[in-house]
Amino acid sequence: MTQSILVTLISIFLYLSSLLSGIGSSPSSPPAESPKTAETAQVPTSGVVTGNTVMVYKSTDSRDIVATLQRGDYVDILHREGSWYKVRLISGETGYVTTFTLMPADSPPVVENPATAARRRVVLGYYVVDQRLPSRPSLENYSHVLTAISPWTWEITASGGLVASFGTAETGQALKLAGERGLSTYALIHNFALNSKGLQNFNATLVNSMLSNPDARRKLVQNILATLKSWQFTGVHIDFEMVMPSDRYNLQAFLKELYNTLHPAGFEVTMAVPAKDRESVTNSWSGAYDYSALHPYLDLMMLMTYDEHWRGGAPGPVASLPWVESVVRFALNEGVPPEKIVLGVAGYGYDWPRQGQARAVTYTQAITTAKNYGAQIQWDATAKVPYFHYGDGRQVWFESRQSLSYKLGLVNKYGLAGISLWRLGQEDPGSWQIIQDMFS
């Protein structure tokens, strides 16, 4: 199967459809830093504030204060000038602090597993058609870092059918671009549909109806095969969520049938699974997913290591480092080969009110909120994630390039296959350089 066929087919489709939708221009790249002078010493790129209250000054000979930092805050160290560090705050602002108030932060684990050192890491981005938060710019600008995309595409039916749930024009353009740039492509098959209350959500009843009916399972497998052939995808990505624990064995049967049909035809099978660090077959969120029984029928298993704290729960990290590592260790202990494990990473965060449900925020939205309210962004030294408080008791916990670096360290430490980012368009733009540096 060649990407050139995909490019040709989609090019013809786009031409015949007379697509008129424009593509937003790429955001301009940040200006490169000016070269350091010979007197400027190179130092570690990250640091933690050790003083109780530390002023960030506009320049080394100015008393104009850019910001105030507290003990434990996290910054990027750009370079050293004598007894001063030039630093970049998580908000993007730069300034100077005295060297005795800052120490280089502990580095994330980057020891490479020698068994997988030569294998290129998977960097898969989930692609969503959303005019408010488009995925397209990230694909355009960082396709040299990405190895694959999985566009949000088809919804299942109870009888084993597939219903398109994507914007054909933009998704077609994205697949064309991915093909031109040599990226693998995975059709995302999901159960996100209207539920009995008329709300759009992952529908447990829908997927139960399909999984519990052998004829519907076989029909869905054949429909997926036909779709992959027609669109010339690299493979399929199964994203069934809220599967009932009672469907544990039906899910295994479906995946086995899917794998045994697609693999001989040359297609890959991948799947997103809920993150867990212990087994509970009755758990409503993760009980249906038996890592040890599913992985033989998967080329890649994407651990959804995010939503540790979710919008309907108490405030906290979306993905703390200790929790993420515990999920990885559980998967390995269940016998999942490290070369099949893809670590799910979030590009988003949550903004919690004092009471009630949180709202999802992108990295840029989180930074903008902090700046607009004059909130001090802090660093949780245990969770390895940024957060801040603002307004009437609101809390924002989110992901950044710094927090991502620790997750990438786990990929290298355990020799995992790579990462899958939910989703393109939400992430810290600085994440891509971190990925490139740590996976090179």
pLDDT tens-digit map of 339-352 = 999 999 999 999 99
Residue 53 lies in a domain: yes
How large is the average pLDDT for residues 127-145? 97
Q: Could you tell me the pLDDT band of residue 117, with boundaries at 50, 70 and 90?
A: low
Do 155 and 289 belong to one domain?
yes
Q: How many residues does the chain have?
A: 440
Give the DSSP letter string of 376-406: --EEETTTTEEEEEETTTEEEE---HHHHHH
How large is the average pLDDT for residues 142-149? 98
Radius of gyration from C-alpha coordinates of the chain = 23
Q: Which residue has the tokens 């989110």?
A: 398
Q: Which of 104, 131, 152 is the C-terminal boundary of a domain?
A: 104
For residue 241, indicate whether it is catalytic: yes
Do 238 and 211 belong to one domain?
yes
| pLDDT for res 94 | 92
Q: Which of 104, 137, 152 is the C-terminal boundary of a domain?
A: 104
Whether 30 and 192 have beta carbons less than 8 Å apart is answered as no
Residue 9 lies in a domain: no
Q: Residue 180 pLDDT > 70, yes or no? A: yes
53: left (phi over 0), alpha (psi -120 to 50) or beta: beta
Residue 129 lies in a domain: yes
| pLDDT for res 106 | 53
| pLDDT for res 386 | 96
User: In this structure, what are the phi and psi dihedrals at residue 127, rounded to the nearest 5 degrees?
Assistant: -110, 125
Q: Residue 183 pLDDT > 70, yes or no? A: yes
Q: Could you tell me the pLDDT band of residue 39, with boundaries at 50, 70 and 90?
A: very low
- Give tens-digit pLDDT for 243-293: 999 999 999 999 999 999 999 999 999 999 999 999 999 999 999 999 999
Q: Considering the chain, what is the average pLDDT of its residues?
A: 88
Whether 342 and 416 have beta carbons less than 8 Å apart is answered as yes
Q: Which of 2, 439, 248 is nearest to 421 (CA)?
A: 439
CB-count burial class (<10 Å; 0-12, 13-18, 19+) for 225: middle
Residues whose CB is less than 8 angstroms from the CB of residue 214 and which lie 6 or more positions away in sequence, other chains included: 253
Do 90 and 118 belong to one domain?
no
Q: Which of 84, 104, 124 is the C-terminal boundary of a domain?
A: 104
Among the ranges given (88-92, 156-160, 378-382, 393-397), the one the predictor scored with the smallest mean pLDDT: 88-92
Q: Residue 184 pLDDT > 50, yes or no? A: yes
How large is the average pLDDT for residues 320-324? 98
Q: Are strands 341-346 and 385-390 parallel, antiparallel or unpaired?
A: unpaired
Do 275 and 372 belong to one domain?
yes
Do 87 and 132 belong to one domain?
no
Do 432 and 310 belong to one domain?
yes
| pLDDT for res 101 | 84
Do 98 and 194 belong to one domain?
no
**Catalytic-role residue among 33, 140, 170, 241:** 241
Residue 39 lies in a domain: no
Residue 383 sits in a domain whose CATH number is 3.20.20.80
Whether 104 and 77 have beta carbons less than 8 Å apart is answered as yes
Expressed in angstroms, the distance from the first to the final Cα of the chain is 27
Do 78 and 153 belong to one domain?
no
| The total number of structural domains that make up the chain | 2
Among the ranges given (92-101, 157-166, 246-255, 315-324), the one the predictor scored with the smallest mean pLDDT: 92-101
Residue 33 lies in a domain: no
Residue 408 lies in a domain: yes
Do 177 and 232 belong to one domain?
yes
Q: Residue 413 pLDDT > 90, yes or no? A: yes
How large is the average pLDDT for residues 393-421? 97
Residue 60 sits in a domain whose CATH number is 2.30.30.40
Q: Residue 7 pLDDT > 80, yes or no? A: no
Do 69 and 156 belong to one domain?
no
Q: Which pTM value belongs to this model? A: 0.80
Residue 126 lies in a domain: yes
Tell me how far the alpha carbon of residue 25 is from its chain's centroid.
Answer: 23
How large is the average pLDDT for residues 385-399? 98
How large is the average pLDDT for residues 419-427? 98
Do 427 and 386 belong to one domain?
yes
Instruction: Give the whole-angstrom CA distance, residue 270 versus residue 265.
Output: 15
Residue 272 lies in a domain: yes
Do 85 and 120 belong to one domain?
no
Query: In percent, how much of the chain has pLDDT > 90?
Result: 73
Q: Could you tell me the pLDDT band of residue 109, with boundaries at 50, 70 and 90?
A: very low
Range of the domain at 52: 46-104
